Structure 1
Amino acid sequence: MVRLHELSLGDTFEDLLVEVYQLEGVDPASKPRDPVYSALVRDPSSYCRLIYRANNNCKPSNVKRGKFYRISGRVSSYRGRMQIQIGSSWGRVEKVNGEE
């Protein structure tokens, strides 16, 4: 299983198990008609920012702090910091422990 500290810029990955550490809400740099949400996620090895869009499989109101999710996506950079992106047509977020 992949860990956060093993990811590099440009990597794509599947089934990364992370815990939502902090919800940040709508990213101020996103477009109002196509909002992008962000959260800090962690695993036993590290922390990272998760960038995601709302879709049928991932409703921002259902993403909860302290819950575990299995995510797939790619690694990008914003202002020199690594982030994980879950796109609207690629990548996914899957609830691991419970509802949805």
Structure 2
Amino acid sequence: MFTLDDLAEIVDRRADASAEKSYTRSLLEKGPTHCARKFGEEAIELTIAGAAGGEDSVRAEAADVLYHLLVLLRSRGVAFDSVVRELESRTRQSGHEEKAARKA
């Protein structure tokens, strides 16, 4: 089964390729601000699909969001596994408790 870890590894590999051969590399060369904007565009497209689109549209846009999230993380030097560890630490308490702790 294909996982987000697999996708993160692909993004990492493609980040090391040339921009002529790798869309991932071409995004990264434009910098974190560009990568963040691209992620935002994809998130908006998913939001629209989630509100009014069909299952195929939501699935396709969600895939775009996940990919562009990983590219954004890479552009900022944030390892995907560190995000997974953050999520893991948050699941040790209820969502309400975790959110309240962040406000404190």
TM-score normalised according to structure 1 size = 0.23
Greater radius of gyration (CA) = 2
Structure ranking higher in helix proportion: 2
Structure with greater proportional strand content: 1
